[in-house]
Chain A
Amino acid sequence: MFLKEIRVVRTSPCLAAEEMIKVQAVLSVEIGELMPYLNAVLPKPNYDPKAQNLAFKKGEKLILLQKDKVAVTKLKNITHAYQELELLKGLINDTYERRDEITPIYEGRKRVGPLEIYKHLPRTNCKKCGEAACLAFATKLVSLEAEVNQCPDLLTEAYAEAKAKVLSLLGEE
């Protein structure tokens, strides 16, 4: 088997969705070289060949694959998280098995980068989100390690438009 294990390393509540959780997990092998194949197989993913990340939506859930890890948001509970990761493992292994039949796509719709997100943040470096600076927060937003709701300023009326923009750039709205 190509990918033997996806191991959950962190679970936390989804701030954006009540009663939902997100998980972060690590992959037992690096899948960077398989990404162009996954890019060809998945429906409308955001693929960034340089950063080696691939994001796609599945129902409400947003899945962000990186070369050695994965994050999934908006899961109902931990059981659903494991189910989703098992399906993902199946998809990765199946794609690997069939890679000779798949025409890889090396360029893709790039996922938004930290700088683009940063442009719409308050840029006050107030640290209320738990990060040292807005750019660091933007980086974590892109990798699904942070959520928009962690920024108190973005939740105010004045930033409503900016918040909507950030969510749409992240593919969460």
Chain B
Amino acid sequence: MEIYLDNAATTFPKPEAVYRAVETYMRQNGASAGRGHYRKALEAEELVYKTRAALGRLFGIDNAAQIIFTNNVTDSLNLALKGILEPGDHVITSNIEHNSMWRPLKKLEQDQNISISELVVNPDGSFDAGQIENKITKKTKLFCLLHASNVLGSILPIPKITEIAHAYNIPVLIDAAQTAGVYPIDVSKEGIDLLAFTGHKGLLGPMGTGGLYIREGIELKTLKEGGTGSNSSQEFQPQNLPDRYEVGTSNIWGLVGLKAAVEFIEQQGIEKIRAKEEMLTHKLLEILQALPGVNVYGSLQAHERVGLVSFNLKEMVPEEVAFSLDESFGIMVRAGLHCSSKAHRLLGTEKRGAIRASVSYFNQVEDIEMLGEAIKNIQAK
């Protein structure tokens, strides 16, 4: 038996409907959207539109044309950051960002002389909203931060941040890598101006799918230009969305799978999915905390986090624990720095790293119990 607990990296399994949709499209259609005038091409086009529309419903986006498809959240963050920031601009981010946000920012700091301030999330996951306003300067162009940490699991208070940012007319870019599909997001209610998401994690879709929501009125420079299948006589990139930012042949079978995945989430209901993951996270925290010699990072309250828990076993190397869990028990967890040395620096684990177990809607309580038993076994050796 195998137990997959690396869902924060990518979810597995996917809903049955995802496999079926991808296979049906690959076998029976196979045409590229926006590139033909025959029936199958138009069908492909419609599938892509329906994916956009489904994501629009899920995220409270009225105008689905404002959703741009990308390859993943890293792609989306690069487009948003490099599309909006100019030399000398100031941004406010957090001290626990994933490299997908942090590295583009460091590159822009190096090349474009932007300056970066960090909002402080504490090792226990707590966050003082009082610090937000103090970080704003005359040059602040953007707030850009993650919705939930892939190491601490903590969820940041987005509406509080957007409220203050908007009082100063500063847009907010949210990295929803760990929340899209597993935590309710409504861009209009929460005042999110740019929402970067990936399709293969909480949204339960295929890898190679992702997107960026761009609020109407926000103009981003393009990172890529090329064929859009529209306005082909024009030498310059069309200005209208989504064509302006979507170039080259799209990952249509990925998007077809993502459509089925989002429809699955809609059928189940995001509240039900969140409730199940919260229950599993509670179980994870409960079992891990009860074990002697286990150091659990972040908040101990499941409702303050997404479905992942990072921890270490006293004096044991995380990679070796992960190896033993897989080798002896078929339990798959992540070990290392999780592409976020910033979060590990906060926890004092930047050298050592940590073990991370992360759940999805398809895990069961028994999976968590098995993990607990396996850890006991490894500790006893």
Question: Is B15 interfacial (CB 8 A cutoff)?
Answer: no
Contact B37 A11, beta carbon cutoff 8 Å: yes
Once A8-B42, A21-B230 are accepted as A-B contacts, the answer to whether A78 and B34 lie under 8 Å apart by CB is yes
Contact B231 A19, beta carbon cutoff 8 Å: yes
- Binary per-residue interface labels of chain A (67-103) against chain B in the complex, 1 for a CB within 8 Å, 0 otherwise: 0000000001111101100100000000000000000
* Docked complex Cα distance between A79 and B63 (Å): 10
Once A78-B49, A79-B52 are accepted as A-B contacts, the answer to whether A11 and B64 lie under 8 Å apart by CB is no
* Docked complex Cα distance between A82 and B49 (Å): 7
Report A47 CB to chain B, min CB distance, Å: 29
In the complex, chain A residues whose CB is within 8 Å of the CB of B367: none
Contact A83 B238, beta carbon cutoff 8 Å: no
In the complex, chain B residues whose CB is within 8 Å of the CB of A8: 42, 45-46
Which chain A residue lies CB-closest to B234?
Answer: A19
In the complex, chain B residues whose CB is within 8 Å of the CB of A7: 42, 46
Question: Is B242 interfacial (CB 8 A cutoff)?
Answer: yes
Interface size class of B (residues with CB under 8 A): 20 to 34
* Docked complex Cα distance between A8 and B231 (Å): 19
* Docked complex Cα distance between A7 and B47 (Å): 12
Once A76-B240, A78-B34 are accepted as A-B contacts, the answer to whether A83 and B230 lie under 8 Å apart by CB is no
Report A90 CB to chain B, min CB distance, Å: 12
In the complex, chain A residues whose CB is within 8 Å of the CB of B242: 77, 79
Contact B243 A77, beta carbon cutoff 8 Å: yes
Contact B65 A80, beta carbon cutoff 8 Å: yes
In the complex, chain B residues whose CB is within 8 Å of the CB of A19: 230-231, 234, 238, 240
Contact B63 A83, beta carbon cutoff 8 Å: yes
* Docked complex Cα distance between A12 and B231 (Å): 10
Q: Which interface residue of B33, B52, B65 has the most chain A CB atoms within 10 A?
A: B65
Question: Is A10 interfacial (CB 8 A cutoff)?
Answer: yes
In the complex, chain B residues whose CB is within 8 Å of the CB of A77: 65, 230, 238, 240, 242-243
* Docked complex Cα distance between A21 and B49 (Å): 16
Which chain A residue lies CB-closest to B42?
Answer: A8
Question: Is B53 interfacial (CB 8 A cutoff)?
Answer: yes
In the complex, chain A residues whose CB is within 8 Å of the CB of B238: 19, 77
Contact B42 A11, beta carbon cutoff 8 Å: yes
Report A68 CB to chain B, min CB distance, Å: 17
22 contacts between A and B (CB under 8 A): A7-B42, A10-B37, A10-B42, A11-B42, A12-B37, A19-B230, A19-B234, A19-B240, A21-B230, A76-B240, A77-B238, A77-B240, A77-B242, A78-B34, A78-B45, A79-B64, A80-B240, A82-B45, A82-B46, A82-B49, A82-B53, A83-B63
In the complex, chain B residues whose CB is within 8 Å of the CB of A83: 49, 53, 63-65
Report A84 CB to chain B, min CB distance, Å: 11
Report A145 CB to chain B, min CB distance, Å: 14
Q: Which interface residue of A77, A83, A86 has the most chain B CB atoms within 10 A?
A: A77
Once A10-B37, A19-B231, A19-B238 are accepted as A-B contacts, the answer to whether A79 and B65 lie under 8 Å apart by CB is yes
Question: Is A9 interfacial (CB 8 A cutoff)?
Answer: yes
* Docked complex Cα distance between A8 and B238 (Å): 22
Which chain B residue lies CB-closest to A79?
Answer: B65
4 tightest Cβ-Cβ pairs between the two chains A and B: A82-B49, A76-B240, A79-B65, A19-B231
Which chain A residue lies CB-closest to B242?
Answer: A79
In the complex, chain A residues whose CB is within 8 Å of the CB of B243: 77, 79
In the complex, chain A residues whose CB is within 8 Å of the CB of B49: 78-79, 82-83
